[in-house]
């Protein structure tokens, strides 16, 4: 155990549910991946950007040659050759105008396909997350990877675009200039090397430093973002103000901010020192080139026109090379660490699905010697469970906190795969079924439900594609009355103040979540303590209505209030990850075991109250 930034963390491991690969991703693989994204989402714009890049580069190079011819014609004009001057001037003007037109179209196409691919690569992340085993979300390393991948998606696109610019624009331009300088004077080709090598070396070293910085700071950044939300998010302000813990989170926030700043300062100090040292070498090379072309002019090796053209081209070469390597490649180098993490995230193993048969959720659920342990945990949360839930049966799961109730439910519906044993839907193992088909006929309402800033109608029908638009039955079952005071626009009332809607209480939001779960077409429905913010009398009414709606369907209820278990056909009593007892309410009371003790304790609490 160790403490970092005020947050206690367990030992980190590299073992993901299906194994994890942490090797550095080569740049060419990032480039190929980004290219596939470009071709997939914007093939026409992508090809246009490439086809425009080459003529743009060659026109800029030819402008240097046209400049030399203009100066040479001016020098010869003293002999009366004025026609050559006008001709050279017209050619240079036409080249410059045409260059700007091609460049404008090139920039437009690049921006257009970059913007459109931004949405495409974001969809790829979401699809990837939907295919990853849900248990990965219980692993702290997975959350670090998500943080880094979300930042890295832009860097993959930026790096890919930079490399294609190099191939389509910069390399053709430098090749043209290399031939031109060699034609004027073979020694002038050294100009490209003097400008190129120092900047390139600086950026290679920069890549390694920034990549290490990204890996080190990702966990700290997640803590920093959490503390920031605890300070600023309106869902926290009641506790942070009333309990006087605002300064607590502020102190943690400032501490992580200081850690991030210190790490960034250290990385920047190393990068700046390297770039400064190599900049002196670049400047020295630039001065040496100027001395070389001046000597060539004074020695009669080149004409005045060639001197002027080469002089201007050296300045252009320096600017272009600096823009390519220091800014474009520099930004790509800085983001390469994030790009690595994006690629690692996209390469994470997905939940295997080998069975093409659709699991039949209408035939009940069977658990055979099922055990399960959370990542980084030492103790089994569910240990050796054998259980059969019949189709159309209502089952209640009870037990003390930490008994394994919620974990058992997640295993029952196939959200988690067991470490040992099997879970079967109609003879099909949930661990082998495809996630997309596994949950098609399963619904649920959970204690930690989501409050979506949407209309009441959209909040309820958002996840259902199998029934009509009528939601009144679900509203009634959840105890929601469309009064003008609470829902002024009926089902079209916007919920949440963020979009100028109504602000519901916790209990009202809970009813919305219950209606959403009941509305979805299902053969199996789970209620995992969804009525915690609702009083016991109203809870009983909701459960009775729930049983009425879920007739002939399998229902699983997790609750702390044992009075609600009377509606269940059977009650499963959990203790320390094992099944302590099973029976209906009357049978369990008669046995005077753990269930009876908990029930009597709650009854005394209500009587005392």
Report how far residue 16's alpha carbon sits from residue 350's, in angstroms, rounded to the nearest whole number.
11
SS3 per-residue string spanning 5-50:
CCEEECCCCCCCCCCCCCCCCCHHHHHHHHHHHHHHHCHHHHHHHH
311 burial via Cβ count (<10 Å: 0-12, 13-18, 19+): middle
- In contact, 495 and 456? CB cutoff 8 Å: yes
pLDDT tier, 573 (very low <50, low <70, confident <90, very high otherwise): very high
> Across the beta sheet with 442-446, what order do the strands follow?
442-446, 524-528, 554-558, 394-399, 570-575, 578-583
Rounded Cα gap, residues 591 and 394, in angstroms: 21
Residue 412 CA to residue 583 CA, distance in Å, equals: 18
pLDDT in tens, 269-324: 777 776 676 667 677 777 777 888 888 888 888 888 888 888 878 777 777 776 77
Fold of 2-8+23-346: ABC transporter transmembrane region fold (1.20.1560)
Residue 360 makes CB contacts below 8 A (sequence gap 6+) with 425, 426, 427, 428
To the nearest 10°, report the CA torsion of 522, 523, 528, 531.
60
Taking residues 46-59, report their average pLDDT. Answer: 86
Write down the pLDDT at residue 280.
73
User: Are 547 and 394 a contacting pair, CB within 8 Å?
Assistant: yes
Residues 6+ apart with CB under 8 A from 472: none
pLDDT value, residue 370: 92
Confidence of residue 441 (pLDDT cuts 50, 70, 90): confident
Whether residue 456 has pLDDT greater than 80: yes
Is the pLDDT at 169 greater than 80? The verdict is yes
CA neighbours closer than 13 Å in the CB half-sphere of residue 108: 7
Structure tokens at 60: 């800029």
User: Does the structure show a pLDDT above 50 at 18?
Assistant: no
Cα–Cα distance, 360 to 366 (Å, whole number): 12
Burial of 127 (0-12, 13-18, 19+ CB in 10 A): exposed
Radius of gyration of the chain from its Cα atoms, rounded to whole angstroms? 34
Tell me the CA distances in angstroms from 197 to 169, 280, 455, one per residue in order. Answer: 19, 12, 59
Residue 248 has pLDDT above 90, yes or no: no
Instruction: Dump pLDDT digits (tens) for 531-558.
Output: 665 666 666 777 777 777 667 788 888 8
Nearest to 87 by CA among 103, 73, 108: 73
């Amino acid at each position: 155990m160790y403490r970092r930034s005020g947050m206690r963390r367990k030992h980190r491991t590299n073992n993901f549910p299906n194994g994890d690969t942490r090797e550095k991703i080569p740049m060419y693989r990032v480039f190929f991946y980004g290219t596939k994204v470009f071709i997939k989402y914007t093939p026409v714009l992508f090809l246009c950007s490439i086809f425009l890049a080459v003529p743009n580069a060659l026109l800029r190079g030819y402008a240097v040659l046209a400049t030399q011819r203009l100066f040479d014609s001016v020098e010869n004009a003293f002999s009366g050759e004025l026609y050559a001057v006008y001709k050279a001037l017209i050619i240079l003007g036409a080249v410059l105008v045409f260059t700007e037109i091609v460049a404008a179209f090139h920039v437009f196409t690049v921006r257009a396909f970059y913007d459109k691919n931004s949405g495409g690569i974001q969809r790829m992340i979401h699809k990837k997350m939907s295919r990853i085993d849900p248990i990965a979300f219980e692993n702290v390393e997975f959350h670090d990877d998500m943080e880094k991948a979300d930042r890295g998606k832009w860097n993959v696109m930026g790096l890919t675009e930079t490399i294609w610019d190099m191939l389509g624009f910069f390399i053709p331009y430098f090749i043209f200039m290399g031939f031109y300088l060699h034609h004027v004077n073979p020694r002038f080709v050294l100009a490209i090397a003097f400008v190129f090598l120092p900047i390139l070396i600086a950026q290679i070293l920069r890549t390694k430093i920034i990549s290490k910085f990204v890996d080190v700071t990702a966990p700290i950044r997640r803590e920093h973002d959490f503390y920031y939300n605890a300070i600023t998010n309106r869902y926290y302000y009641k506790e942070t103000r009333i309990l006087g813990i605002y300064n607590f989170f502020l102190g943690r926030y400032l501490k992580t901010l200081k850690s991030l700043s210190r790490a960034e300062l250290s990385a920047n100090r190393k990068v700046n020192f390297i770039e400064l040292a190599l900049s002196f070498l670049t400047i020295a090379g630039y001065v040496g080139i100027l001395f070389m072309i001046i000597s060539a002019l004074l020695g009669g090796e080149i004409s005045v026109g060639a001197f002027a053209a080469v002089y201007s081209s050296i300045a252009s070469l320096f600017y272009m090379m600096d823009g390519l390597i220091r800014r474009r490649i520099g930004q790509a180098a800085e983001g390469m660490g994030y790009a690595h993490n994006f690629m690692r995230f996209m390469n994470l193993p997905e939940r295997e699905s080998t069975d093409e048969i659709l699991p039949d959720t209408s035939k009940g659920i069977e658990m055979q010697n099922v055990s399960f342990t959370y990542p980084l945990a030492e103790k089994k949360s569910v240990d050796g469970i054998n259980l059969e839930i019949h189709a159309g049966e209502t089952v209640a799961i009870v037990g003390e906190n930490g008994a394994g109730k919620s974990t058992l439910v997640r295993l029952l519906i196939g959200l988690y795969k067991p470490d040992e044993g099997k879970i079967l839907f109609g003879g099909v193992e949930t661990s082998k079924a495809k996630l997309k088909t596994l949950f098609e006929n399963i619904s649920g309402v959970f204690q930690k439900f989501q409050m979506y800033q949407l209309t009441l109608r959209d909040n309820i029908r958002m996840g259902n594609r199998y029934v009509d638009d009528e939601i009144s039955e679900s509203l009634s079952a959840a105890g929601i009355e469309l009064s003008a005071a609470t829902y002024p626009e009926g089902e079209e009332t916007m919920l949440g103040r963020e979009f100028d809607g109504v602000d519901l209480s916790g209990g009202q939001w809970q009813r919305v979540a219950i209606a959403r779960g009941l509305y979805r077409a299902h053969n199996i429905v789970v209620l995992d303590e969804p009525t915690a913010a609702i009083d016991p009398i109203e809870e009983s009414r909701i459960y009775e209505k729930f049983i009425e709606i879920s007739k002939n369907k399998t229902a699983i209820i997790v609750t702390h209030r044992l009075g609600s278990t009377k509606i269940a056909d059977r009650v499963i009593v959990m203790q320390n990850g094992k099944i302590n007892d099973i029976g209906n309410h009357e049978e369990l009371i008669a046995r005077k075991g753990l269930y009876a003790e908990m029930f009597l304790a709650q009854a005394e609490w209500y009587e005392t109250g």
